[in-house]
Structure 1
Amino acid sequence: MSTGSPRVVAFGDVHAPLYVNYLSSSLAKLQPDAKLVLVAGDVVARGEWRMCRQVSELSEKFLPEATVVGVFGNEDYEEARGRMREECSGFMWLEDDAVEVEVYGLRVRVVGSTGVLDEPTPWQKRNVPGIVETYRRRLERLGELLDKKSGDLTILLTHYPPRCRTLMGEDERFWRQMSSEGLAELVKKKGVDVVVHGHLHRSTVHRDYIGSTPVYNVALPATKSVTVIELRRQGLLQFL
């Protein structure tokens, strides 16, 4: 792709330090002109917040002009997130919130969240009081955020995916504990231009569509490389 093309670089599930090599080697192959980086959660492994700096430094080294917008994943433990914000202070962290950034003249609104599950995992049921209600409220909040139209394009950035074919490769028995049909319905109804998610390490389908909306799984254990998405002013997005 030629220098100056409006593009987004996206990745998730670095689980630093586990998959830093995938991140480093693929970032090194890119032209350094990207203006927006999306990080789809699970930046560190098991709450090891100190490892966040590795990811931040790689982004700064290879994509020095980019705004980095990230969400937290399930291994970015609640108690570690404050320290992660300090270690990766250059990231714009979204927790059920939105931000608008300019990418080569396009006003791109990013709605970001850890996301929701149709059914909490067994661990969550045992250890996270009120998790069902948390997911219900979060889905409602995301609907409200997506109702607020601004900018030229809207990107939904989550860790947990909406239900779609990017789950192919994962054990179908556990799809309800890995994704959300409710979130997929929001995508259909709210006019989202693109969805970016992580979480799916065994995914064999890295791009799908919900209606006309492209959905990208950018989890590094699955993709082995960062994902590059080219933005076009008419609202079309092209996967590279």
Structure 2
Amino acid sequence: MRVAGLADLHVTETDKHPFRELFSEISGSADVLTLCGDLTNLGTVKEAEILAEDLASLSIPVVGVLGNHDHESDCVEKVSEILREAGLCLLDGTSTEIDEVAFVGTKGFAGGFGRFMLGSFGEAPIKSFVAEGVQEALRLENALRRVRQGRVVVLLHYAPIVETVMGEPPEIFPFLGSSRLAETIGRFEVNVILHGHAHRGAFEGKTPNGVPVFNCARMIEKPAGRPYHLIEV
């Protein structure tokens, strides 16, 4: 299966069919399109409606997760509804199967990487922040447990490894992802992980147990010179 990975569309209310041509191109190159969050810029209903119009140009299945920008305007339920009605299979701690390939996804969350990962200690707001990251990892784990053996693609918005955020200012690394996500994925047989969020990060890396990770943010330079990346699964 040819899977196209794309993230960080950041559709705005002033855009006019910003991705119609690109989606048509992807339909001719891939079997499935995956969208790894920040589909809208401010999470508004109008932005979601503009993207929904362009999704109609796809002739292949499209699977995705939301990102932090999609939550900005507190309209996430309505935004999700619009995108689902337009054909997007939106994953939120859930999975779907297409031609014997399982797609498992959740937004993920921040928290930092390796020995610099934030721990649940001190003030209540810190504990709440860490708890959110733990909860997202648990949602991902539960979804992976429900997947039967076979080919598995994991979709995230936040990065699971530090390698694919390299290039961003080090000061913001803790807000770009968390090793908790990679630790969770490492308990399962997974073929590839796709994410976005780090606009100035690196294109590829691997988890500690060798699973390929691709930063599919639209702004990242990719081998084929296109805003998306094609993966054979």
Identify the residue that residue 73 of structure 1 maps to in structure 2: 67
Separation in 1, partners of 2:175, 2:29? 38
The letter for the 1-side match of 2:55 is S
User: Structure 1 residue 41 and structure 2 residue 37: aligned?
Assistant: yes
Deviation string 1:102-125 (CA, Å, 9 cap, x unpaired) is: 2xxxx11111111022158xxxx9
What TM-score results when the alignment is normalised by the length of structure 1?
Answer: 0.78
The question of whether the paired residues in 2 share the 8 Å contact of 1:50 and 1:87 is answered with no
Identify the residue that residue 237 of structure 1 maps to in structure 2: none
Identify the residue that residue 94 of structure 2 maps to in structure 1: 97
SS at match of 1:184: helix
Structure 2 residues not aligned, in runs of 5+: 113-117
The letter for the 1-side match of 2:67 is G
Separation in 2, partners of 1:208, 1:67? 26
Separation in 1, partners of 2:178, 2:16? 28
Structure 1 residues not aligned, in runs of 5+: 1-5, 232-240
How far does residue 158 in structure 1 lie from its aligned partner after superposition?
0.7
Q: Percent identity?
A: 26
Separation in 2, partners of 1:19, 1:221? 17
What TM-score results when the alignment is normalised by the length of structure 2?
Answer: 0.80
Structure whose residues are more often strand by fraction: 1
Deviation string 1:69-121 (CA, Å, 9 cap, x unpaired) is: 1111001017222221232211111111111122xxxx11111111022158x
SS at match of 1:46: coil
SS at match of 1:70: strand
Alignment size in residue pairs? 215
The letter for the 1-side match of 2:63 is V
Separation in 2, partners of 1:20, 1:166? 31
User: Structure 1 residue 51 and structure 2 residue 47: aligned?
Assistant: yes
Identify the residue that residue 138 of structure 2 maps to in structure 1: 140
**Backbone CA RMSD of aligned residues:** 2.9
Mapping of residues 221-232 of structure 1, within 5 Å? 221-223=219-221, 225-231=227-233
How far does residue 172 in structure 1 lie from its aligned partner after superposition?
1.6
2:103 to 110, 132, 135: 110
